[in-house]
Amino acid sequence: MEEQAFGPIRFIPGSNGGRYPNCHSVFIEGADVLIDPGADRNALKALRQEKRINQVWLTHWHEDHIMNLDLFEDVPLYTSEAAAGPLGDMEAFMDAYGAGEEIRDLWKPLMEKAFHFRPRQPAGYLKAGKGVEIGPLRVDIIDTPGHAVGHLSFYFPENDVLLSGDYDLSGFGPWYGDVGSDIEQTLASIKRLEEIEAEICLTPHETGVFVRPAKELWEKYAAVIDKREEKILELLSTPQTLETLVDSWVIYGKPREPLAFYQFGERGHITKHLDRLIAEGRVASDGKTFERV
């Protein structure tokens, strides 16, 4: 995968095709703003030597999007106010995911070594609005919660380019597994992005660059949520505990390593679906097991 430019908007690929735990980055020429510094570390070091980086922006606070933030410790950081808390402290980061002690013990060394986590405080906050000035460009800052609390997307109307954040149009589908994630907000954010109908949609993972993504592609991406729910309901034709549902690997398809990390993600998603199904009256629980009504 190679760098691409859409006017002053420069797409910088992540390692391994931008597959998690890597992600793609975007650099805005003229404004010299880097968005989501999770791309190839050497490429970002080279960018740092080539350009004077004025600001770093984040779509949200997840680890893959801040992986190389340590390279820019002297550069002012901007994100939404709601996304700022997890960046300031490792324990706050773990709390924002809803991580228990077992996953914290596994995750903390990874955060420090693989993701280069360093506590940061934003220099200011990005607020939703149209026509925000960014050097020679205007950008519409869009609230797109659901994937994570405080998640933002960016639309550059002069170039008709949308940076969708972690609504990435991947075959895996939407991710909504941390404690502040929300299925209904995820669906609403996907719809909001679909309605922009941008010529170019940039995403942080895998394909990365979509030219005129069709409505059907957004719909297929959102439909993954319903497919997951259908599988859960099939399993709930007989009583199931949360852990037996987790062991069915509805979300990830199969066990992956490190096992505790992926079990945590699976559990987070399954819990969101169970809460939703119970609220809709489609599933009942006796406090220990869950069953389709």
Peptide bond into 258 cis (omega under 30): yes
The Cα–Cα gap between 126 and 58 comes to: 9
pLDDT of residue 258: 87
Which class would CATH give 225-292? mainly alpha
The residues pairing with 129 across neighbouring beta strands, listed in sequence order, are 141
Tally of CB atoms within 10 A around 261: 16
> Residue 269 has what pLDDT?
98
Q: Range(s) for CATH 3.60.15.10 in the chain? A: 4-213
Cβ neighbours of residue 282 under 8 Å, at least 6 residues apart?
233, 292, 293
Structural tokens at position 218: 């957004």
Backbone angles phi, psi at 126, to 5 degrees: -90, 130
Calpha distance 20→273 (Å, rounded): 23
What percent helix, strand, coil does the chain show, rounded to 5? 35, 20, 45
Structure tokens at 279: 């609220």
Q: Euclidean distance between the first and final Cα of the chain, in Å? A: 48
CATH of domain 4-213: 3.60.15.10
Q: Would you write out the chain's pLDDT as a tens digit for each of its 293 residues?
A: 899 999 999 999 999 999 999 999 999 999 999 999 999 999 999 999 998 999 999 999 999 999 999 999 999 999 999 999 999 999 999 999 999 988 999 999 999 999 999 999 999 999 999 989 998 899 999 999 999 999 999 999 999 999 999 999 999 999 999 999 999 999 999 999 999 999 999 999 999 999 999 999 999 999 999 999 999 999 999 999 999 999 999 999 999 998 999 999 999 999 999 999 999 999 999 999 999 99
Q: How far is CA 107 from the centre of its chain?
A: 18
- Both tokens of 55, joined, read 């600001």
Range(s) for CATH 1.10.10.10 in the chain? 225-292
Nearest Cα to Cα of residue 174 among 162, 188, 160, 155: 188
pLDDT score for 1: 87
For 227-243, the DSSP string reads HHHHHHHHHTTS-B-HH
Q: How far is CA 145 from CA 152, 179, 187, 206, 258, in A?
A: 7, 13, 10, 21, 28
Supply 204's token pair. 């942080």
Q: How far is CA 100 from the centre of its chain?
A: 21
Classify residue 119 by burial, with Cβ atoms within 10 Å: 0-12, 13-18, 19+. exposed
- Measured in whole angstroms, the distance separating CA 180 from the mean position of its chain's CA atoms is 12
Q: Are 194 and 218 in contact (CB under 8 A)?
A: yes
